[in-house]
Amino acid sequence: MEDIKKIIKNSLITSIIVLVYGLIVGSKEVYGGMFLGSLISIFCFYTIYLDVKTSLLKGASFKSGVLNYLKRYFIYCVSLGISIYFFSLGMMLGTAIGLLNIRFNILLMVLYKNLLKWKDKYLK
């Protein structure tokens, strides 16, 4: 649970940084698409956490797991579809990059932990 909170916290910080950067630059693809994409990414990651928690406590079936998986991808597809339909291809690309926010933060956490292990092992 501690890692989940840390991932969500780091992702929120990244989202705020993206929003501020987009406002400074004045690009609606950055502050609109990337910021909203990153918020959707955080929301879907939190729903993954809730789905895992309920399936462990209640012993949910395979069918409910697949249905929750499809719901998350439906949210992704709707957000990308809305961004390209109402705005432009640039907004859709910004939203797609924002949807990678959680994955980017998880990758950074893993690389940081591996770097600390490597440092302790070789640079004593």
pLDDT tens, 36-65?
A: 999 999 999 999 998 888 888 887 777 888
CB atoms within 10 A of CB 25: 11
| pLDDT value, residue 98 | 92
Contacts of 107 (CB under 8 A, 6+ apart): none
Domain assignments of the chain as residue spans, ordered by start: 2-122
E-state strands within 1-124: none
Q: When comparing pLDDT for 124 and 47, which is higher?
A: 47
pLDDT tens, 66-122?
A: 888 999 999 999 999 999 998 888 899 999 999 999 999 999 999 999 999 998 888
> How far from chain centre, in Å, is Cα 81?
18
Torsion angle (degrees, nearest 10) of CA 51, 55, 60, 64 = 20
- Judged by DSSP in three states, 100 sits in coil
| pLDDT value, residue 45 | 93
